[in-house]
Amino acid sequence: MRPKIAICILNQNPANYVNAVLRAGGEPVVIGRPLTGKSPFPLIHDALQDYRIDPELPEDEMEFDGLILPGGADLNPLCYGRQDWCCHGVCDQLDQLDFHCLRHFVERGKPVMGICRGLQVINVYFGGDLYQDIGRKLRPSHRGSIEADQHHPGHAEKGSFLYGIYGEDMLINSNHHQAIRHIAESLKVVQRAPDGIVEAVENQDQSIVAVQWHPERLFQKEGPWVDGGELFSWFVNRCRDQRRLSVDTRI
């Protein structure tokens, strides 16, 4: 059985994430409202006006095996105690959706993977904060365009989830102007760019992992960079193990 994986989306196209999960053997379920308004992909409670998961939903609808927090608009800096001075596209409804879903999965010990904004949401949720802008000196190495990402090396720590998938050194992609400033105490930095920007984090048991780059845009693409599909396969397998564990617990 395919593990059911929730993807938080609000006013953006979920196709890259949905396709990546499908190719990795998972069943993607979009939570929220995609850019097209009416999604061709499975939705849960799309009619919610505030884009939250209703805590009163039947338990069977909430039995997901994993959560993906994807890229998107900048997080409202008020979430980490700062005033906004250079953020782009802040959306309080998206922040609310991400934090609500993240709390649901963390409390149940289910796997979570953050991508770009998702990494930043996870860090802030656990008490870290962000650089609202990495500055003109570093931005060209990390900020691409709508049409193309920047590519740069990333160094993974031995024993980390990324090291187990790709090894120590790899070429990754980026398209962001914000980054982790102070890492949350319950998280560990496991990958950095050559300029020191945090590119990946994990918690102690690797039930929560996140990357600043975009594996969903490196899926089975030819080039010197990593195959993002391998990361999605790793995560879907973690979610599959979670499903088996849940079934065994009920027996």
Per-residue model confidence (pLDDT) at position 18: 92
The active-site residue, picked from 152, 202, 214, 239, is: 214
pLDDT, tens digit only, all 251 positions of the chain: 789 999 998 878 888 999 999 999 999 988 876 655 444 444 444 433 333 344 444 455 467 999 999 998 899 999 999 888 878 878 888 898 899 899 999 999 999 999 999 999 999 999 999 999 877 655 555 565 555 788 889 999 999 999 999 999 999 998 878 899 999 999 999 999 998 999 999 999 999 999 999 999 987 666 788 999 999 999 999 999 987 776 655 54
In tens, the pLDDT along 1-37 reads 789 999 998 878 888 999 999 999 999 988 876 655 4
CATH number, residue 227? 3.40.50.880
From the centroid of its chain, how far is CA 237? 16
pTM: 0.87
Q: Is 184 left (phi over 0), alpha (psi -120 to 50) or beta?
A: beta
Q: Which two tokens stand for residue 186?
A: 């319950």
Per-residue model confidence (pLDDT) at position 88: 84
State residue 43 phi and psi, 5-degree precision: -120, 160
Beta bridge partners of 125: none
Per-residue model confidence (pLDDT) at position 219: 74
- 116 part of the active site: yes
Q: Please give the Cα distance from 189 to 203 (Å, whole number).
A: 9
Question: Look-up: residue for tokens 């039995």?
Answer: 63
In tens, the pLDDT along 60-78 reads 546 799 999 999 889 999 9
Q: How many folded domains does the chain comprise? A: 1
Per-residue model confidence (pLDDT) at position 50: 38
Domain holding 196, by residue range, is 4-250
Q: Please give the Cα distance from 212 to 187 (Å, whole number).
A: 14
- 155 part of the active site: no
Per-residue model confidence (pLDDT) at position 243: 79
Per-residue model confidence (pLDDT) at position 58: 43
Per-residue model confidence (pLDDT) at position 56: 42
The active-site residue, picked from 87, 116, 176, 177, is: 116
- 142 part of the active site: no
Q: Please give the Cα distance from 103 to 45 (Å, whole number).
A: 18
Using CA atoms, how far residue 81 sits from 24, 69, 105, 168, in Å, is 38, 22, 24, 35
Question: Look-up: residue for tokens 């973690």?
Answer: 238
